[in-house]
Amino acid sequence: MLNISLNRVNENIDREKFASFRLVESRKSGKVFIRLIGALFGVALLTMFIPWTQNIRSGGAVTTLQPDQRPQTIHTIIPGRMEKWYVREGDFVRKGDTILFISEIKDDYFDPNLLDRTNAQLEAKSRAVGSYSGKVRALNNQIDALRQTGVLKLQQAENKLRQAGLKVTSDSIDYQAYLINYDIAKEQYQRMEQLYKAGLKSLTDLENRRLKMQKAQADMISAENKLLTSQNEVLNARVELTSIQAQYRDDVAKAESDKFTALSSKYDAEATVTKLQNQYMNYSVRSGMYYITAPQDGYVTQAMQAGIGETIKEGEPIVSIMPARYDLAVAMYVRPIDLPLLEKGQRVRIQFDGWPAIVFSGWPNTSYGTYGGQVFAIDNFISENGMYRVLVAQDPEDHPWPGALRVGAGTTNMVLLKDVPIWYELWRQINGFPPDFYKVQTVDTKKKK
């Protein structure tokens, strides 16, 4: 009763009959209450100095550590018509096992003997290349023979020119000799004529001398004609030498032209052979793409195409496969403000969805059902959700993760930072300051030389 009214009734109540009045109005109850409040305040004060582990809480999902261990989709490289399925959803397949067989739908590849016909074309063109090579070798031999024959012919023509020159020299000497004989015979005839006029010689002697002079003159004219003939032979020899040079030059040029034509045809044939080889290998590889096989060991999770007789386009997904061997990891996302606090090798506590746990975020040692991890990689570029992805691997020093985990399961993650008192953490939270973190510093104790 507060006794705030003017009409008091406390005098009309017998307080001894009520135990509650006795306890409240007792002096001992006040002391107990004060002691209780003091004890609670002391406990709260001591609690403020208990160590608290700062942490960054973030959601995530189970993934794999390596990219080739994650679920993948198998695509068809070429368009085709589905003919036969060899697996069902949930089947285990090994690397190289056939999943689906497709048939060709392009008319360029309908020929069942396409590889054999292409190979026949390739062999024919290869033989053509060999024929052109033989023709080039024959023309090379012909050019060598023409050059050797030309050298011999030129030597022969030069010898003939030299012989003609020597003959000109000999005829010139003979002509000079006959010319001197004629001059001598002419002088002798003139002296004989003077002697005949003086009456010292007879007419017979004069006529004999005239006969000798005329004979010497005839010999001189014959020698001169012979000399002119020799000179004409020299000119003919020079003309023949020039003609031989021009003839063999033309023959060699023609043979080289035929050779270059054969080489051009050979190179065209080689280009065709290379093109046919490429085409043959493309056909061969394409024929192997009719059977779509598993790229690695795994489980067929979902068939994205169904039915028999349906056509599929190139690059279209067919089935998805989950690899059989994988190393689990957790992909968590942190805010940009928390990213500078993270580094590789940092400890992380993980709570997996579906595994019961009792979590005390500030006291990880007292938590139950959480598993240890280490920061394995940190993305350098922000994700589409405005956060940075952090890849967490299993901590080898902690107990192993559950064996029944599956890729895609959700997780709740706590990145452990610095140990601080509770009062400091409350003060930090009230002021909105970022958490603290440890920075491991390595001290180099080696002495410098």
User: Are residues 40 and 61 part of one domain?
Assistant: no
User: Are residues 39 and 89 part of one domain?
Assistant: no
The pLDDT value recorded for residue 252 is 87
Please count the structural domains in the chain: 4
As given in the structure block, the two tokens for residue 241 are: 């030498």
User: Are residues 270 and 143 part of one domain?
Assistant: yes
Identify which has the larger pLDDT, 11 or 263: 263
pLDDT tens by residue, 78-129: 899 999 999 988 899 999 899 999 988 888 888 888 888 888 998 998 898 8
User: Are residues 395 and 365 part of one domain?
Assistant: yes
pTM over 0.85: no
Query: Is 445 a member of any domain?
Result: no
Identify which has the larger pLDDT, 418 or 274: 274
User: Are residues 386 and 303 part of one domain?
Assistant: no
Query: Is 436 a member of any domain?
Result: no
The β-bridge partners of 291 are 101
Query: Is 83 a member of any domain?
Result: yes
User: Are residues 421 and 351 part of one domain?
Assistant: yes
Average confidence (pLDDT) over 18-39 = 69
User: Are residues 397 and 310 part of one domain?
Assistant: no
- Rounded Cα–Cα distance for residues 334 and 437 (Å): 15
- Rounded Cα–Cα distance for residues 262 and 267 (Å): 9
The pLDDT value recorded for residue 278 is 92
* Residue range of the domain that includes 404: 51-68+326-431
Query: Is 266 a member of any domain?
Result: yes
Q: Residue 337's domain is classified under what CATH number? A: 2.40.30.170
The pLDDT value recorded for residue 217 is 83
Instruction: Taking the CA atoms of 232, 235, 239 and 245 in sequence, report the sign of the dihedral they define.
Output: positive
Question: DSSP secondary-structure letter at 323?
Answer: E
Query: Is 252 a member of any domain?
Result: yes
pLDDT tens by residue, 277-315: 999 898 888 888 889 999 889 999 888 887 788 888 888
Residue with tokens 């020799």: 230
User: Are residues 241 and 202 part of one domain?
Assistant: yes
Query: Is 10 a member of any domain?
Result: no
User: Are residues 118 and 43 part of one domain?
Assistant: no
User: Are residues 421 and 403 part of one domain?
Assistant: yes
Query: Is 2 a member of any domain?
Result: no
The band of 52, judged by pLDDT with boundaries at 50, 70 and 90, is low
Query: Is 1 a member of any domain?
Result: no
Q: CA 284 → CA 113, 219, 287, distances in Å?
A: 11, 95, 5
Reference 304, options 72, 27, 114; nearest CA is: 72
User: Are residues 24 and 64 part of one domain?
Assistant: no
The pLDDT value recorded for residue 337 is 78
* Mean predicted lDDT score pLDDT of the chain: 82
The pLDDT value recorded for residue 445 is 47
**Cβ atoms within 10 Å, residue 410:** 13
Average confidence (pLDDT) over 194-202 = 80
Average confidence (pLDDT) over 200-206 = 79
Name the range with the highest mean pLDDT among 37-46, 97-106, 153-162.
97-106
User: Are residues 312 and 166 part of one domain?
Assistant: no
pLDDT tens by residue, 243-269: 888 888 898 899 889 989 999 998 999
Indicate the helix (H) or strand (E) that contains 55. Answer: strand 51-64
385 pLDDT more than 80:
yes
Q: Residue 306's domain is classified under what CATH number? A: 2.40.50.100
- Rounded Cα–Cα distance for residues 320 and 301 (Å): 6
**Cβ atoms within 10 Å, residue 274:** 12
5 pLDDT more than 80:
no
